[in-house]
Structure 1
Amino acid sequence: MEPILPLDSAEVFFDGIFSEPRLRHPEGVAIDADGDVWCGGETGEIYRISADGSGIETVASTGGFILGLAFDDEQNLYACDMRHSAVFRLDTRTGRLAHFANAGGGDEMRIPNFPVIDGSRNCLYVSDSYDPGEKGPGVWRFDLESGEGGLWYDRAMTFANGMALSPGKDYLYVAESFASRVIRIPIGENGGPEEGELFVEEIERVPDGLAFDAAGNLYIACYEPSRIYRVSPEGEIHLLIDDPEAHTLCHPTNCAFRGEELFTSNLGRWHITRIEAHAEGLALP
């Protein structure tokens, strides 16, 4: 399969190998209302990179390991933390960081991986990767105001990872990394999940992060090999861009749009990649 875009459509937006602070193997990436790029670090850092890529600062730290990130419409940033098995909420206006969610009572997320805001239902979905060597549930849902919630989709999944809400907000798409597929979960009228259905399964090796463009195409960032797929609403798979040497795209994990630019975090190195995608991203949340 030949890629749609040449590799030179991608560039290193910010190189953090020698920056101060150093960008420590970012896994999650999200864009705020001002166009600044936010990402997380392997020792709990939450970074903000200026919109033009000229600078970086550490805004907060959980002391854990930050995975997926997502903004709500009030510019609160939700961060999944693997070490603490929890979701944190950062008020980006004040810098206040607080524990937001876990189920409690002994029934808790194991590896909260990626958060998705559903503004129409005032809730946050969180994928739980559960265990790298064992299938398990699933997707959790929490109220945005109280942080209360619990297990929402209880079917066993094979390392649930990146997620994205469909343009019509009627499906939640979930990457199952170690099954090399993406499923979608219909959201019922009462907000509950219906039985998940296969969307695509011919994704080579390790699909990780998901994002939609405004036309309803789904973008799938693959941790291995270092590439990004674009899948049409009908499920037709195209290879968007590929980096055989894993240099500019180096084990990309999550991805996020800013206009027609697609940004990826690179867990394999210390930089953020920017791709001229020639497609407008779906407005979030």
Structure 2
Amino acid sequence: MKQYTISDITIVAEGLDHPECVALHPDGSLWAGGEAGQIYRIGKNGMAETVVNTGGFTLGIAFSPQGWLAICDLKNKCVWRYDLVSHALSVWSTGTAERSFHTPNFPVFDNAGNLYVSDSGQFRKDNGCIFRVDPKGNTTCWHEGPFRFCNGMALSASQQTLYVVSTWLPGVEAIEIKENGDAGKRQTLVQIPRTCPDGIALDEAGNIFISCYAPNAIYCFTPEGNLLTVIDDWESHTICNPTNIAFGGENRKELYIANLGRWHISKIKMEIAGLRLSGQ
């Protein structure tokens, strides 16, 4: 695994409102969110347009297999459904009758259109959980946790494992998805002391990339069990409080990075293609 330097990073879009999230649409466009509810579409020329505003605080976003965009909103405590054709914005879920969303943080779709949503819970309270919303919008609490601020998530290639970033662990957990869809065995995959992990993305070789809000670094956990440093921006300029990450670009060999601490999206050209997501 190559260790990258600041000179390997390209800024692809600027002038965004402290972007927390980043996602790639099948047409090649880059999407991101702002802290005042903005949803940006960024063309190949790097120009960003605001396509919709939730009036909240955009956390994670993800495209469904059917092509609509799921938006986690911290302020409005919901997941929005944004239709890219009609431009309609509607509430997709607010949790369950017994347990409403507190901090809906990150959405992940499986191939069947089920949406997993991490709810980080209260700050430092270690009471996070994971919801699942079926294709009809029915919501259940899929895993009651408790999680230590569950954050970014990703599915394995087989979609039989859900990887969950737990910021205050700090590290990544793995949860088995049983044949009937229920949550199975939960285990700690890797711990990264003295960091604040936030985002996660997988490549086709099974490497797990973990972006850390602090200390402005991205790590790689290999299938062999090694934890490697991909890049560390100690200056905190080019990579600044990196939150969500996503593969895209030509042959999905570019890793895009949302920099919550600043106003831009950056990218690194990788050697191995990213795992294709259900919405890609």
TM-score between both structures, scaled by the size of structure 2: 0.95
Q: Distance in 2 between matches of 1:175 and 1:211?
A: 10
Q: CA deviation at 1:235?
A: 2.4
Counterpart of 1:44, as a letter, is: G
Q: Distance in 2 between matches of 1:3 and 1:207?
A: 20
Q: 5+ unaligned residues in a row in structure 1: which ranges?
A: 17-22
- 1:198-213 → structure 2 map (5 Å cutoff): 198-213=188-203
Q: Distance in 1 between matches of 2:115 and 2:224?
A: 27
Question: Is the Cα–Cα contact under 8 Å of residues 185 and 194 in structure 1 kept in the other structure?
Answer: yes
1:6 aligns with 2:5: yes
Counterpart of 1:181, as a letter, is: G
The number of residues matched between the two structures is 275
Q: Distance in 1 between matches of 2:217 and 2:85?
A: 35
Question: Is the Cα–Cα contact under 8 Å of residues 122 and 128 in structure 2 kept in the other structure?
Answer: no
Match 2:183 to one of 175, 193, 206: 193
- 1:108-257 → structure 2 map (5 Å cutoff): 108-120=100-112, 122-144=113-135, 146-257=136-247
Q: 5+ unaligned residues in a row in structure 2: which ranges?
A: none
Q: CA deviation at 1:132?
A: 1.2
Match 1:98 to one of 86, 90, 109: 90
Q: Distance in 1 between matches of 2:4 and 2:117?
A: 31
Match 1:48 to one of 30, 41, 47: 41
Counterpart of 2:10, as a letter, is: E
Q: Distance in 2 between matches of 1:51 and 1:153?
A: 39
TM-score between both structures, scaled by the size of structure 1: 0.93
Q: Distance in 1 between matches of 2:193 and 2:207?
A: 15
1:268 aligns with 2:267: no
Counterpart of 1:143, as a letter, is: D
Q: Which SS does the other structure have where 1:194 is aligned?
A: strand
Q: CA deviation at 1:203?
A: 5.0
1:70 aligns with 2:74: no
Question: Is the Cα–Cα contact under 8 Å of residues 221 and 227 in structure 1 kept in the other structure?
Answer: yes
CA distance 1:207–1:278, change in 2 (3 Å): same
Question: Is the Cα–Cα contact under 8 Å of residues 96 and 141 in structure 2 kept in the other structure?
Answer: no
Q: CA deviation at 1:204?
A: 4.0
Q: Distance in 2 between matches of 1:109 and 1:196?
A: 22
Counterpart of 1:57, as a letter, is: E
CA distance 1:204–1:34, change in 2 (3 Å): farther
Q: Distance in 2 between matches of 1:113 and 1:97?
A: 18
Q: Sequence identity of aligned pairs in percent?
A: 41
